[in-house]
Every structure is written in C-alpha cells, then in structure tokens.
Amino acid sequence: MIKFGPSGTCAEFTLAGHSHTVEVPAWLKEHDLDCFEYSFGRGVRIQESTAKAIGAEFAKENLEISVHAPYFINLATQEEEKAENNHRYIFDSLAALTFFGGNRCVIHPGSPLKAERGEAMALLLKRLEKVAELKHELGYDDKYLCLETMGKAAQLGSLEEVISMCALDKTFIPCIDFGHLNAREGGIFYTDDDYKRVIERLMKGVGEDKCRIMHVHFSKIEYSAKGEVRHLTFDDEKFGPPFEPLMRVFKEFDLQPYIVCESAGTQTRDAAMMKRYYYELER
C-alpha cells in the first residue's frame, strides 16, 4: 500500500504544543498520514529505551517509521578509518531502526571529494559490498538500505549511479528524491512523461519489484548551476517540481512507494496534500 508522511516534525507540530517524537503518531493519525522519517542527520544519539517507547506508539497507531542515517556518511572516502566509521554510523542507524520497529534506512552515498568520479564510484561500490556483507552477518536481512539520489551534480547519487548501487544486494532499494534529481539537472520534471521516463528507467534498472516498493523523498527545491540550494514549500511557484504529475504516474504504474515529504517546515501539510490528490484520482 502506498504511504505518505513527513520527514521530521513541522512548525505546526510545535505550535500545537508538541515537543517529542513519541507524540508524532497521534499527530499523523490526526492528519490522515501513514509514515514518518526520523533523521539521525548529525549522528545516532538516541537511547534504546527512548527508541522503543517511540516505536511502541507507532505500532499502536499502525504507522510506519523509517530512519535517515547521518548526513556525513561518505562511502567514497579513501581513508580506511573514515570508512570504518561510516560502517558504524550505518549499523548504529540500523540498530536504532530495529528499536523503532521500522525496516527502511536512507543513506546519502557520498562524494568524490578530490578523486576522479569513476574511481570514487568504484570505491563506493566496493564499500557498499562490504556493508552488504556485514549487514547479513549482523542479522539485518529484514531491513532495507535506501540509496538516495542527490541534489548536487558533484555528489555521487545520479539516477544511474543509484541503480548501480542497488544492484549489489537484494535489500538495497532506491530512494528517489525527485526534488534532488530536478535540482541537479536544472529542472527536468514538468509533465507526466517527464516522471514516466524515470520510472521506466528504474523498472529496467532495478527491476519491477524494487521499483514498486521504492522509497521516495519529495519537496520543491531551489537550485543553482551547481544543483540544490535549499528546500522550499509547496507554495513556491518558481522552482518545482510539481507533485501532481508524479502522483498520476504512481497511479498509472500501480506503484506502492513510501513517500516522505521534506518541505521546509510544512512537510505534514504538504504530505497530506499529496495523499488527498492521489486518492482523488480514484474518483
């Protein structure tokens, strides 16, 4: 079943007097949403007891929770010590995800830094193969790693690069951030056909099964010649991309993605807007 929800808590959540993630499931129910993404952007700093308490509330409301691993992970690093730290960040995220009761962990792949892009990508794939090996050894076969498309052209995480990453293991699935793809390419999503091209490439590249259950990030994003600048809200009329054609394509292809809205401060409202539009297509 297709799911809609926010990444993190929005401004309205705070204005309503809420302050803790344990209160999020009731908030999502109130707004007729299905899922939530908890970010470990600056590091995995949550106690097991706290994570389990949050997870219990999500289970009670029959809602799903995913996590985003730390943003500073760079699987293309040439430094072995940093590579080992990256593994720790990933598996700390998976441990917390288990306490939450979720099954999806989103990862930023990395950046070439000063290396040649092809060389950096080869190293990243080698690092990911090690992650897959450790993941199975440590008993995380029931967890998906969602490899994310990135918003700046200099970053590793084009659509083709993410397809290559997902080929390494059956539990690696794409996290397609349509705002990122739009930003890194200088604006490419306007019509249904624009989105169809990506879905059809994914179907061929990662297979129908992975494409059907892919993870999705969506927001409007300001961009420059180098790509992503900042996340916006659905009120923005300049940068896009529009969500309506994507919802129509999801409906046409009968996909069941997990759609996380990353709007700047209005993510709950905007996630609900996408969900309403999607289900109105059935009428």
Is the pTM above the cut of 0.95? yes
Judge whether residue 144 has pLDDT over 80: yes
Q: What is the pLDDT of residues 25-73, one digit of tens each?
A: 999 999 999 999 999 999 999 999 999 999 999 999 999 999 999 999 9
pLDDT at 113: 86
Identify any residues that bridge with 258 across adjacent strands, giving them in sequence order: 3, 215
Q: Please check whether residue 109 is in contact with residue 75, taking contact to mean a CB–CB distance below 8 angstroms.
A: yes
Angle between helices 80-100 and 48-60 (to 10 degrees): 40
Q: Please check whether residue 216 is in contact with residue 178, taking contact to mean a CB–CB distance below 8 angstroms.
A: yes
Is 3-280 CATH 3.20.20.150? yes
Rounded-to-integer distance, Cα 273 and Cα 278, Å:
9
Rounded-to-integer distance, Cα 199 and Cα 163, Å:
12
Q: What is the pLDDT of residues 158-216, one digit of tens each?
A: 999 999 999 999 999 999 999 999 999 999 999 999 999 999 999 999 999 999 999 99
Domain ranges (residues) in the chain: 3-280
Judge whether residue 282 has pLDDT over 80: no
